[in-house]
Structure 1
Amino acid sequence: MTTHALDRSAGVERFGYRQELQRSLSFRDLVTYGLIFMVPIAPFGIFGSVFQAASGMVALAYLLGMAAMMVTASSYGVMVRAYPTAGSVYSYAGRAIAPWFGFLSGWTILLDYTLIPGLLSLVAAVSMTAVVPSVPVWVWIVVFVVVNAGINLTGIRSTRRTNTIALVGALAVLGLFIVAAVMALASGAGRGFSWEPLFSGTQFRAGTILTAMSVCMLSFLGFDAMSTLAEDVKGGPRQVSRGMIAALGIIGVLFVVQSFLAALLVPAPDALIADGDPGGTAFYDAARVAAGPWLATVTALATALAWGLSNNMVAQVATSRLLYAMARDRQLPGFLAKVSVSRSVPVNGILLTAAVSLVLGLSMAVRADGITVLASLVNFGALLSFIVVHLSVLARGLRKDRPRVAGWFRCWALPVAGVVILVAVIVNANALAQTVGFVWLGVGVLVLAWLAATGRAPRLSGIGGAGADADHLAGHRG
């Protein structure tokens, strides 16, 4: 039997589920989804924060961040081929380690997925207020949330078409900036060519770079959400694994290039390192040096639309799929497992995600540090979930009665390296995020205890039955 046939035969039906979501996404659609979620121009919005944290070596932070995410993507690829369901880390940990561990993993990543749409709406609203001062922040938040929910409710095909248009627009603005920046540097603008954005012997400290990585990881969040589309993509889980690597490689190169050029054009780099970027305008200031006020306005507007519409849209899709997967396993209220027959989308999951985004966005809009707080929490939840994925791969490898999913390098060396890197990043992360993140995990433990006491202890469909056969089948594909 061929590998492709094996992938097809190891569908969700073998885990005790029905295939309710329509497989309508191609490999190109999947990569587009990942690029949109990560946003090709994501560094525009947080460039100043990463620059300060990295002591100017912003391109190095993005380069190492891409390497760390590539290692994590490898483990996601192993697990999505073994368990091709929509639950992502929730399903992987639950099946590879234990159902209760899967619940806690799903609970942890909910902190990431549930907060991301609210964060994106808030960032975009603040950016739009800078462009159109007469419209208050809360109005833009409502607009972004409602528009995204409306498009997602019409079906995954509408989301796909909108994604393609948004990606083309973001790449066009990025290309415009790159050309303008290169021409400006060639004409003597900025501080001239230097390798300092990649490495500075006088500024380099391991702790400094790890802290910067904990900030810039926000730009990479989204490749993992591609795993939630395992039941939407044509060709099965093999395509998801390939799509993650492709999207990360493309986006990583774009991040390094744009941050490198912007770092050379920043008007006052020493002041940015010392005082930070409270207004969030560091990248736009660099664009102004490159080509004038018009480019600063274009890049600011592009950031608002990318974060508030395209990125927010796919974030809602990923969150609704996670809610759907946990609800059909009775770990969340059953109404979240409802799928529209005509549009093949988890309707209630989308509506709940929109409601939470609206409440979070509006409540954080009145805080001066609202964006910082949300961003820190999102990063912390994501990094913990990435560690769990690596642990899930290692747990499968320790089962001597099961064939190996892939070679020793992907099943042992890379997961161990991934855990070490991510733990180091978490240790150097924001203290508030660490506190709230572990409090959220503690609440998850209480919820787990309540589920067990009420006879709803975590149990994934197919474990010990058809799912075991699929697990064994998946083990021969490496």
Structure 2
Amino acid sequence: MSSIEQFGYRQELQRSLGFADLMIYGLIFMVPIAPFGIFGNVFALSGGMVALAYVIGLVAMAFSGLSYAQMARAFPMAGSVYTYAGRGIAPPVGFIAGWAILLDYLLVPALLYLVASTAMNSFVPAVPVWLWLVAFVLLNTVVNYLGIQMTARITRIMLVAELLVLAIFLVVAGIALAQGKGTAGALTPIYDSATFSWTLVFGAASVAVLSFLGFDGISTLAEENREDARRLGRSMVAALALAAVLFVVQTWVAALLVPDRAALLAPGAQLGNAFYDMASYAGGAWLGVLCAVATAIAWGFANSLVAQAATSRLLFAMARDRQLPSFLARVDPKHKVPANATIAVAAVSLLLGVGMSLYDKGIDLLSSLVNFGAMTAFLLLHVAVVVHYVVRRRSRNWLAHLVVPVIGFAVLVLVVINASLAAQLLGFIWLGLGLLAVVVLYVMGRRPALPSEVS
């Protein structure tokens, strides 16, 4: 276990998480059944090659996971890519990386709450979307405020429940395939010559990566890790690998059972309930309802719980370095959590969630922006690995410190280029505001700086 005092910080958070806790946290953040909620969108965008889209998403995230592991070992502190780019390259670059990842971290809880609340409203129409959203936000805020150990216990329970639902789906779907209900060839979900194009699958991958986002959230818990810093990196890679296997298997099986492929690929198709319709076709209405309710609870409670925790740690780290308002750095003396940052995330999630619930394309817009912010920050992460290890430390571990980050950077560029135009436009506007904020900080005499640089 590395000390953070050597970097100019005081240990304030409680070190109580082990390898298993961190890996489970990452799995819950990614949601083992995440493809349930966006299956229709990825299926349509990929021309039915949904499993291939997830494989490409895995490749993009695998290189990022390996780079995260290298930087977590070098700088075992909260703050994720903000810390890694700031200390690996320069503090102003760290600010931009933190600003970019904020587009992911600040929006993802609101996205999760909105998806879950919309799903619950479809089951209980008498309760409006905004009221479901308020209930989810309040519940998660209370759990997170009670401490990271409480969050860890809840995530273990939720992980078991999600894996149980996934197992039930796979068994029933397997029986359906054995009975001849399959609607496509065995290899169609990975390659379909009638629809294949690299632009198509990379565009679909830019949406599929949403399911993988979350493994990086483990890095925000570095100061609550009780073991060696290398275990932090290994837990990220392990969580990513396990999630990838689950994603590819479930989407492959699901793509073989889509009852009306042509209708789902047609322009203007209703995609939100595609997975649940497929589950109903495979095993009956009860399976469709089970998958839908499980998705709502997983996104609205389990996933958003850990997303709120990760976001609060990022705000805490940036505020501690005086790059965000200092009140966000306050730690509750009893529960050892960033109290004000936790409440701030809840407030932002509530406002964004309710606001976007009034917009027809709110979920699609939030999804695109979340992905764009994460991919942009990951690009800077790969640059940080090369600068810190190869340029500064003269590392000769060419594979880990040069080849992996360069390939990861190139793959992410392809994903970003193929993202939606709306996401690109709003994402670049967000980055522009971040650059403007850096200029303002310099003009005010508060250039981005880290404790070791402060005189």
Q: TM-score, normalised by structure 2?
A: 0.98
Deviation at 1:277, TM superposition (A): 4.7
Structure 1 counterpart of 2:413 = 423
Structure 2 matches for 1:39-188, cutoff 5 A? 39-188=31-180
Structure 2 counterpart of 1:468 = none
Distance 1:451 1:366 in 2: 35
Distance 2:171 2:400 in 1: 39
Structure 2 counterpart of 1:194 = 186
Structure 1 counterpart of 2:239 = 247
Structure 1 pair 455–192 and aligned structure 2 pair: CA distance change class (3 A): closer
Is the CA contact 1:185–1:192 (under 8 Å) kept in the aligned structure 2?
no
- The yes-or-no answer on 1:410 pairing with 2:400 is yes
SS of residue paired to 2:426: helix
Distance 1:247 1:398 in 2: 27
Is the CA contact 1:185–1:193 (under 8 Å) kept in the aligned structure 2?
no
Deviation at 1:397, TM superposition (A): 3.5
Residue from 413, 421, 444 that aligns with 1:454: 444
Structure 1 counterpart of 2:199 = 207
Sequence identity (%): 52
Is the CA contact 2:141–2:342 (under 8 Å) kept in the aligned structure 1?
yes
- Provide, for residues 356-382 of structure 1, a one-character-per-residue CA deviation record: whole Å limited to 9, x for no partner: 000000000011101001011000000
- Provide, for residues 38-62 of structure 1, a one-character-per-residue CA deviation record: whole Å limited to 9, x for no partner: 0000000000000011100001111
Deviation at 1:230, TM superposition (A): 0.8
Runs of 4+ in 1 over 4 A off after TM superposition: none
Distance 1:280 1:452 in 2: 46
Structure 2 counterpart of 1:232 = 224
Is the CA contact 1:11–1:236 (under 8 Å) kept in the aligned structure 2?
no
Gaps of 5+ in 1: 1-7, 466-478
Distance 1:278 1:426 in 2: 25
Deviation at 1:131, TM superposition (A): 1.6
Give the letter for the 1:325 counterpart. Answer: A
- Provide, for residues 228-282 of structure 1, a one-character-per-residue CA deviation record: whole Å limited to 9, x for no partner: 1111112132111100111011100100111011111111112211235535000
Residue from 385, 407, 412 that aligns with 1:393: 385
Distance 2:387 2:58 in 1: 25
Give the letter for the 2:265 counterpart. Answer: I
Structure 2 counterpart of 1:294 = 286
Deviation at 1:462, TM superposition (A): 2.0
Structure 2 counterpart of 1:439 = 429
Is the CA contact 2:49–2:188 (under 8 Å) kept in the aligned structure 1?
yes
Is the CA contact 2:83–2:94 (under 8 Å) kept in the aligned structure 1?
yes
- The yes-or-no answer on 1:311 pairing with 2:303 is yes
- The yes-or-no answer on 1:355 pairing with 2:347 is yes
Is the CA contact 2:51–2:251 (under 8 Å) kept in the aligned structure 1?
yes
- Provide, for residues 264-316 of structure 1, a one-character-per-residue CA deviation record: whole Å limited to 9, x for no partner: 11111122112355350000011001110000000000000000000000000
- Provide, for residues 437-475 of structure 1, a one-character-per-residue CA deviation record: whole Å limited to 9, x for no partner: 11111111111111112221110112499xxxxxxxxxx
SS of residue paired to 1:84: coil
Distance 2:184 2:93 in 1: 52
Structure 1 pair 21–135 and aligned structure 2 pair: CA distance change class (3 A): same
Deviation at 1:192, TM superposition (A): 5.7
Distance 1:256 1:302 in 2: 19
- Alignment size in residue pairs: 455
